[in-house]
Chain A
Amino acid sequence: MSSSEIFKRASESRLLKDPFVEKVWRLIGDTTLFRKSPDFLLSLRREMLRESLDFFKRHSTYYSRLFERLGIDPKNADFPDLAKLAIPSDMLRGDGHRQFLIDDVEQGGEYFTSSGTTGKDPVKIYRSPLDLAIMIKANTYLFEHVYGNKLEEGKGIALFLAAPELRHKLSFVAFVQLTLEYKNIELLYGMDLIQGEASGTQWQKLVPNKERILKFMKSKAEPKLLFTAPAGIYLLSQNFEKMNILKRIVYKLVTGTPPIELGRGGVIVTGGGSKGYALPPYDDIVSTSWKYFTAKDPSGAETPTPFMDVLGMTETLTALIDRHGSLNKIPHPLSHVFLLDPKTYNVIEEDGKEGILGIFNPFVTSWLETFYPGDLMSSMPSTSYYGREFKYIRRFTVEEGWDLQRACGGTMEEMMTTKG
């Protein structure tokens, strides 16, 4: 589906007749939210929490029973209740999401899956047309707020170091393409997905599409937006780092780079985790990249290329986005981000403590989107609309293999553990 089809279908949604969904739709298009006070927004989110639970109680037998079992009354619900309601993202692997969808979930949407780099069944999430429309609007406005400017319609060019096929699999890719489509900004995919077969086994791999990458490099359009996994920008920079002088001269003659000029408003947007690569710290990736990517601020003055990092996951409709050097990760004003104590799983109220990231998106209409993906983060006070910013610390590691053996006899330990 294109973004215009999504908006068309969303506008026909029966759910828009529900007062809560109508309110969501109105609020999601309200860019003044980014200028409201943290207290105002907190109060708004509390109100939406209650209304959202009431909506799910009315539209889902499952949630109605669950709230009863957990002793949660939507009318009096408050943020500590999210600690009880948040599900571990692992529950969304395979067909796990299906049980959470409302009884009258609207068809005709799209499925997104996680990349599956953990070796388990990927997380698979259904997004109705209305939720997709909400996703586009919410993420676009959040992106523009962190970026510092509106993306002007039809202006600029974007390169995504991903393959176009991933648009229908990974939500981050979908969000970028749909947002750029919505803004009528040209998007080039810098990779191709190659499939093959060897010894009866299917394989697929991503290979760079040099033609499209070169088109982006040579384009005079401004701004130039480069979207990539951190590994992509790291490998590109490493490629330049390792060139000898002769190769660098030849490359410069052919492509005019390095440096790659991103022009006015140029930005590099990373997201999607390490993808299995052992990467240096993000700060190092940024400082190395600055040698090979240049940008200008909107007035035309040279500036270190801005980096934005998107913390998104398949199971969240909106992301947390930061701007390197000036803003830590910040959620959409309506998204309630909380940290759970790793021992008690109660909500941590104070800033400065490490906790398990939990997200509640009251604007999602197909399921009660409150979950914890297994990331450890900390929060700090902020002068932004949210009043808090968040810093990613690390992913929780769940040990594989058995640390311990059955007391009476397990099996020979080297055969049963994946540890060294």
Chain B
Amino acid sequence: MALTPLSNRAYACIEKKVGNHVVAEISEDGLSDLFSKATEVQNRLCSIPLEERLIVIDKIGKAWAEKHRKGELDALKSELSDSTGYSPGMIDLEFSLVHSAINALSIKQNLDASFPPGISCLDRFTKVGNDEYCWFRPRGPVFIISSGNSLIPPLIPTTISLATGNMTLLRPSLANFSGVKAVYSLLEEMGGDVAELMREALTISYFSHDSPSLEYLLSKSKIGVINFWGGEPARTEISRRVSSNPSHPALIINGPLTGYAIVDAAGADESAALGLAKNILLYDQQLCSSPTEGVFVGGWAEAVEFVNRVGKRLDELTEKLPPKLTESHAYIIEAVRRSLQFKGSMVFKSASSPSWTIALSKSRSILDDAIQAFPEFGLHARRRFIEIIVVENYEDALEMIEGLPKRKSFRGIDGVQSVGLSVSDDVRERLCKGLAERGIFRILPLEDMYMRSALEPYDGMNLAQAFTYAVYRRDRILAE
């Protein structure tokens, strides 16, 4: 089945084969046609009060939840399980989270936190001082390249872009295309002018990396913002092309990041064990917040006891979220387990299938040695696998985090996005300061480091502000 665009009008498309997929991507002419109305569409969208736009967004989330409840998404669940490699249980869980991402209240909270003058500054000139005002206007059209594997990450920037009044063009990945399209297709089931206008403002299309349309979008089109989620080599290539665009669009890059766990003897309780286990299993550790390495500050025996607890929890959770394993993955994970064991790590693993693995290492990462023989076991290939390094003090933990992007076993990662903590209260403040000084974006409780608060910035920045620009107005004369 061809991956066809979601758009309010039929734009000219070019059909092509990408891998095993047939893709219909909007042509250069089609894009030119689409963007010719961008300013008009954005102005009309912004003339509708934000509250009304959020109501429509909220309805999408609710309609999705209803479909999920009724079991109407089962076919899609199976399709996405096949295309992404996640288990059907994981996809089901992700479906249940869609409503919390596309939800009027959380978007409103996010916008409130993003714009100090308050969300009214998205509707009109809002006072920021004595006779001084700001109005945050859409900077779009916004082109979002969201190449991730799962559903929620593309929904967040797309919904924020729409909410801030932008004409939005989303290019999902091949794997999550059907899911993302299914979510926003719900706009078609809604009546009313606002939904109609939002349909006009949102287009979803796939573009292959060598597509002339993509080349046009990046280097020639009259576009305001390009938001790329991903790493090399695409990032550099996209940056190069965008730099030649005469419209000089803003390029916002959310590079690949990972998560880290810090546990100490005082924090190694049942709650931390369950939390770590959950974070290792969710999304098969493919979130930028998923802990893919951890340190245990304390003694070896205490660490062993903690890891045993985590293992027990992992076994319990695996029953609910069984992995989807290929022969290749099973082979490589067993080989790496042996390599780690032979090189000195203590390896804890699932009893039945090669579902999960925890390697406990002393003072330094043994995975860094093992990866030399198994280059295919890079971070992107690791599933439900964590190495926990037992260190003596918290400074060692900070050093491990600081050095992570340079290590072979984390090749392709920009750095650590999220650090999940389960440590004694008396060191928390000192540790948080140390983490802040080392460029970490999020510091959270270990238990739910996968959760995003509506108030959170994205990888250290404010997306809503990045998708808008401020019109400043002063009614009084400053000059004496």
Query: Which residues of A approach B to under 8 Å, CB–CB?
Result: 66, 69-70, 86-88, 90-91, 93-94, 96, 120, 342-345, 356, 374, 396-400, 402-417, 419-420
Contact = CB atoms under 8 A, between A and B. Distances in A.
Given A87-B338, A415-B234, A96 B287 contact: no
B84 interface: yes
B209 A374 contact: no
Contacts of A407: 148-150, 152-153, 283, 286-288, 290
Contacts of B228: 409
A343, A344, A408, A417 — which one has the most chain B CB atoms within 10 A of its CB? A408
Interface of B: 18-20, 84-85, 145-150, 152-153, 173-175, 208-210, 228-235, 237, 254-257, 283-284, 286-290, 326-328, 330-332, 334-335, 338-339, 341-342, 344, 346, 352-354, 372-376, 378-381
Given A406-B379, A407-B152, A409-B255, 18 more contacts: A86-B338, A87-B339, A91-B342, A94-B372, A342-B327, A343-B330, A398-B332, A399-B326, A402-B381, A404-B175, A404-B286, A407-B148, A407-B287, A408-B257, A409-B153, A411-B234, A415-B233, A415-B234
Contacts, number: 153
B234 A404 contact: no
Contacts of A414: 18-19, 208-210
B335 A412 contact: no
Given A399-B328, A413-B147, A413-B174, A406 B338 contact: no
Contacts of B354: 343
A409 B147 contact: yes
Given A88-B338, A415-B209, A408 B288 contact: yes
Given A399-B328, A403-B85, A411-B232, A419 B339 contact: no
Contact of A91 (B284, B339, B353): B339
A90, A397, A417, A419 — which one has the most chain B CB atoms within 10 A of its CB? A90
Given A407-B283, A408-B256, A66 B342 contact: yes
A416 B233 CA distance: 8
A87 B373 CA distance: 12
B288 A90 contact: no
A409 B148 contact: yes
Nearest to B208: A414
B270 to A, nearest CB: 27
Nearest to A409: B229
24 contacts: A69-B344, A91-B338, A96-B373, A342-B331, A345-B334, A397-B328, A398-B328, A399-B376, A405-B380, A406-B288, A406-B379, A407-B149, A407-B153, A408-B287, A410-B230, A410-B380, A411-B147, A411-B233, A411-B234, A411-B235, A412-B147, A413-B147, A413-B173, A420-B20
B149 A405 contact: yes
Contact of A409 (B230, B289, B353): B230
Contacts of A405: 147-149, 173, 175, 286, 380
B145, B335, B374 — which one has the most chain A CB atoms within 10 A of its CB? B335
A345, A403, A411, A420 — which one has the most chain B CB atoms within 10 A of its CB? A411
Contacts of B254: 408-409
B408 to A, nearest CB: 13
Contacts of A90: 335, 339, 373-374
B373 A93 contact: yes
A69 B341 contact: yes
Contacts of A356: 331
